[in-house]
Amino acid sequence: MYFITVIEDFDKDYGVKGCSRCVGYYNTFEKANKAVRENKCDLWETCYNYAVIEKIEEGLYQTSYEKRWFYKFDCDKGIYEPIEEPEEVKHWCNFAIG
């Protein structure tokens, strides 16, 4: 499954700064990517400047290091744009399900 988590900001000491929450999941990357890119259901909510899609397989304590995509919200365009993985969270895994 492809889990979508929105994130307020990143911090070099703590990784995630502010609020974050998993808002849903899709069975294909294409559907998840479309939902994030188009800011479906107002994922941004005026505070979630970043989003991540993680591919997480069924099971317990699964990790998502290898299959994840990051986005940053563009206020002028009203959409999320793909970005490189932020340095602050390169050592993190499983934003969606801890």
For the stretch 44-85, pLDDT in tens is 999 999 999 999 998 888 877 679 999 999 999 999 999 999
Hunting for tokens 């206020």 — which residue is that?
A: 75
Neighbours of 80 (CB within 10 A): 24
Q: What is the CA radius of gyration of the chain?
A: 12
Q: What is the pLDDT of residues 56-66, one digit of tens each?
A: 998 888 877 67
Q: Is residue 25 part of a domain?
A: yes
User: CB neighbours of 59 closer than 8 A, spacing ≥ 6?
Assistant: none
Q: Is residue 95 part of a domain?
A: no
Question: What is the number of domains present in the chain?
Answer: 1
Q: Is residue 97 part of a domain?
A: no
Q: Is residue 82 part of a domain?
A: yes
Nearest to 57 by CA among 49, 44, 66: 66
Q: Is residue 98 part of a domain?
A: no
